[in-house]
Amino acid sequence: MDLTQRLEDRVAIITGGASGIGLATARRFAAEGALVVIADLDPATGEEAATEVGGVYRHVNVAEEASVNALFDGAFDQFGRLDIAFNNAGISPPDDDSIETTELPAWDRVQDVNLKSVYLCSRAALRHMVPQGRGSIINTASFVALLGSATSQISYTASKGGVLAMTRELGVQFARQGVRVNALCPGPVNTPLLQELFAKDPERAQRRLVHVPMGRFAQPEELAAAVAFLASDDASFITASTFTVDGGITSAYVTPL
């Protein structure tokens, strides 16, 4: 088996595909033979990413139903199939903090981008995958959906818990219709989002690193490899799963010295 072509001729949509885990996954998908649709809010970086991977760019606001429907329906109309949906777009703004200080507008914005978007994207993908009788949906949750943090991002944490619960239900509901739905739960990843946290609050970032048994943050490419596996037929008996790629953080009581 040629593992470099596991995704040959498959059509994949990646939200938040212009940077971080999304971009790394776009590169991995393309290397494995997929045609990649980069879906992002920023046309400049989106077009650049699409050109790099030989795919196409489509503008999307993942928090708006009409925009999400246009993305998925347009891609299906253009290519005649939809095999993979990596619902990855998300935000973690600084005004999402402790429940004592996070105001309702910040809460709502994070819920819209992180949770409502996964509902909208999953629904739009299923409209095409169910009639096909096949498809793989991967939703980006987080290790924070599995444990509590004393340095809270309350809306982010709640949104990722919602993504995880919704993914399990969809995975069960659509298993006999040929559509697999799994949740990726990354640990801290070396992305622009995390680098911004380092720049703004190094102490808070360091408090995260000290709890990772492997002693480092993940690289986006390591998460991309996990997503490519879940998207491929190598994961044909995996659905409704919590696929944790976290360097051991959710299993650690204490970490090595």
203-244 per-position pLDDT tens digit: 777 777 888 999 888 999 999 999 999 999 999 999 999 999
The pLDDT value recorded for residue 235 is 98
- Look at residue 75 and tell me if it is in a domain: yes
d(CA 195, CA 197): 5
Question: Residues 98-131: pLDDT tens digits?
Answer: 999 999 999 999 999 999 999 999 999 999 999 9
The pLDDT value recorded for residue 205 is 72
What is the domain extent for residue 22?
A: 3-189+219-236
Catalytic positions: 156
d(CA 125, CA 112): 18
Give, in order, the Cα–Cα distances in Å from 31 to each of 8, 58, 61.
9, 20, 27
The pLDDT value recorded for residue 256 is 83
- Look at residue 72 and tell me if it is in a domain: yes
Q: Count how many domains the chain has.
A: 1
d(CA 79, CA 100): 48
Per-residue DSSP letter, 80: S
- Look at residue 24 and tell me if it is in a domain: yes
User: Domain holding 163: CATH number?
Assistant: 3.40.50.720
Q: Which residues of the chain have pLDDT under 50?
A: none
